[in-house]
Chain A
Amino acid sequence: MSQQILLRAHNIAVAEEMAKDDKVIVIGEDVGPKGGIWTTFMGLYPKYGENRVIEMPMAEAGYSMFAAGAAMMGYRPVVEIMFADFATLSFEAIVDVCAKFRYNSMGKHSLPITFILPQGVGAGSGAHHSQSVESWFANVPGLKIVAPTGAADVRLFLRASIRDDDPVLFIWHRGLMISREDIPDTLADDEIPSLKNAGKIVKEGNDLTVVAYQRSLVVAQMAAAEVEAETGKTIEIIDPRVLIPFDKEKMFASLRKTGRLLVAHDAPERGGFGAQIVTWAVEELGTELKANPVSVCGKNTVIPFNKLEDYVVPNKEEMKAGMKKALGL
């Protein structure tokens, strides 16, 4: 066991999967000697060379399509899009090629490909480098979407994503890139999780269920501690870790206990994934819910430059207010 930052967890996971399976290849910009702008591929180019670590020109559309073609031929590409926002240029490859390939081959051929998408605020990088993009893709059947929060889960679920036979968008949050967690030195094959039933109860409680991920999860944990101290209520927090397929049962079981729901994410509220989570909860629980669900999400606006970004994503006070509202206080 050793403490690692989240960026290093990516590097460990990719290195482990490349060592296990020679069909795993890396495709992206700056992935050669530099090891990727986020150090995801550090040390891999010297070890495996240009046939497994393919440094591409700045051509997201071209190399995302290239990766899809290589996957059709039996390879297992790990594609890094430098900023999740730049997936706009890979959209056709992800949405029209990867997501539909298995269906159009009558289910005969899977397309095992992992797109790593670093998303979110935290560096003050402005409108084109800070967006949270999960719901751009959540409406596309055929994709799986993985959104872990901490370093340990990044390592586990990046390995699980690379092993999965379907196209996976592995979305991590740049605002948490130097957060630290303990990571086991080695993992046995049976310790690599499935993408199914991946929800995790981060903290148990009886009066309110919070479903949140990535930066909003961290904010929710801080807010929950204060709300519990102020109100005497206890709050259960669920990190879904994987958005598609979503672990509905874990959420339903929690809601049967608490009867109250708050969802939180950094992405804009309108059309966001939280709305889908609320729909599932309301359809399943109906009048078992004691109050209307509450969402605390990003504002429906453009992400501004520098520290101004703090105005558009949920902060602790907004989260506390949302929790109190959901608790009926």
Chain B
Amino acid sequence: MSFTKEQMLDMYSELARSRVLGEKIVEFIKSGKISGSIHPCLGQEAVTSGIISAAKISGLNIYHTGTHRGQTLMAYKVGFSPFIGEVLGRTSGANAGVSGEYHLTDIEHGLIPATGALGGTWGILDGVAWAIKQQGRTDDTVVLAPYGDGAVSEGATFEALNIAALLKLPILFFIENNGVAMSTPVSKQYPLENLSERAKAFGMQGVTVDGNDVVAVTQAVLDGLKLAQQCIPNIVEVKTWRWEGHFVGDNQAQYRDTSFLQHLDDIDPVLIHEKKLKELGYADDAYMAKVREEMTKEIVDAFDYNLTQGFPVRETVLDYNRLYSNDAGGEI
């Protein structure tokens, strides 16, 4: 399908939001305002933007987890300001600053927490997909299971694919392949051209598309979600580039040829889409500058607001009724 001008422009807004958010997160980590090891999404904006665009265009309720670099996707689920609040560890955060970005949990909005080592997460989403199918909700609800190219080496991944295929679950397995798993190149992670080839082993369909092209990602996700709605589990792999180290401060020159950083124009998802919008006559430089400015304001405002909020207190952290149901009434 071809996308309308409005949809194409909205994809740009998502790309711009993701870019600015990535830049701000890096800036705030460097200035010590964000703790933990948040993994920046710079260079991979078409991935989350494509998923969000597909969610909007399809109108589907999508249950999913975050990924290492899925900040915008999580923010889309829980709201931008509550997401930033959680990143900053403030009480204004979506989980009151206690769980942190990484373990964000918001079932009402369909955000399922990922596991720390990541590889077990697809299994959780299988269970969520089973429940949706069981409840007869696939006309408007499906599951999207996002992983990176590293997590798919974990053994539980294969169990989850097998179970999804056996039970015919409404789930799209989405692989964000950025070419490097932590410091290890994908050539040492799997012996295949494309990870989507693994679909065959489970009797599934799998496709690989350009993960720097938000239009291609959006289309692939829409197609995959449609299959998922028919209880045909499938794999979509998108190939992109990770610009930063695994985490902020990771010296990637130790393990990776970083000369690509001098030639980003060909792989920059924001620039690629800008070029397309101009060719189509949908937008000019002034329009796009304005969008970036708006996104910057939204993000700076969210950071500014949340920085004025307090940190969780000891009583919140040690509230055993938060840990156990049935009125635990204290440590047990």
Contacts and interface: CB of A to CB of B under 8 A. Distances in A.
Interface in B128-159: 128-132, 134-135, 155-156, 159
In this complex, the interface size class of chain A, counting residues with CB under 8 Å from chain B, is 35 or more
Main secondary structure of the interface of B (DSSP, over half): helix
B155 A107 contact: no
A62 B161 CA distance: 9
A106 B328 CA distance: 15
B120 A57 contact: no
Interface stretch (A65-73, A146-154, A287-295): A65-73
Contacts of B122: 65
Contact of A59 (B105, B106, B134, B159): B159
Given A104-B99, A109-B107, A70 B322 contact: no
Contact of B107 (A61, A105, A107): A105
Nearest to B127: A69
A110 interface: yes
B107 A65 contact: no
A109 B163 CA distance: 25
A166 B160 contact: no
A142 interface: yes
B162 interface: yes
Given A57-B163, A62-B162, A166-B326, A69 B123 contact: yes
A44 interface: no
B126 A62 contact: yes
Interface residues of B, number: 46
A102 B324 CA distance: 7
B112 interface: yes
B183 interface: no
Contacts of B112: 69, 72
A67 B115 contact: no
Interface in B102-128: 103-107, 112-113, 115-117, 120-128
B130 A66 contact: yes
A66 B167 CA distance: 11
B8 interface: no
B105 A101 contact: yes
B329 to A, nearest CB: 9
Contacts of A186: none
Nearest to A60: B159
Interface stretch (A9-17, A34-42, A90-98, A124-132): A90-98
Contact of B126 (A69, A101, A107, A194): A69
15 contacts: A57-B159, A59-B162, A61-B155, A65-B160, A67-B127, A69-B125, A72-B124, A72-B131, A97-B124, A104-B113, A105-B106, A165-B325, A165-B326, A194-B326, A245-B332
Given A62-B126, A66-B124, A96-B120, 16 more contacts: A57-B162, A59-B159, A59-B163, A62-B123, A69-B127, A69-B128, A72-B107, A72-B112, A73-B132, A75-B131, A92-B156, A103-B98, A104-B95, A104-B103, A104-B105, A109-B105
The 10 closest A-B pairs by CB, nearest first: A69-B127, A65-B123, A62-B159, A73-B131, A107-B322, A245-B332, A165-B325, A59-B159, A104-B99, A66-B127
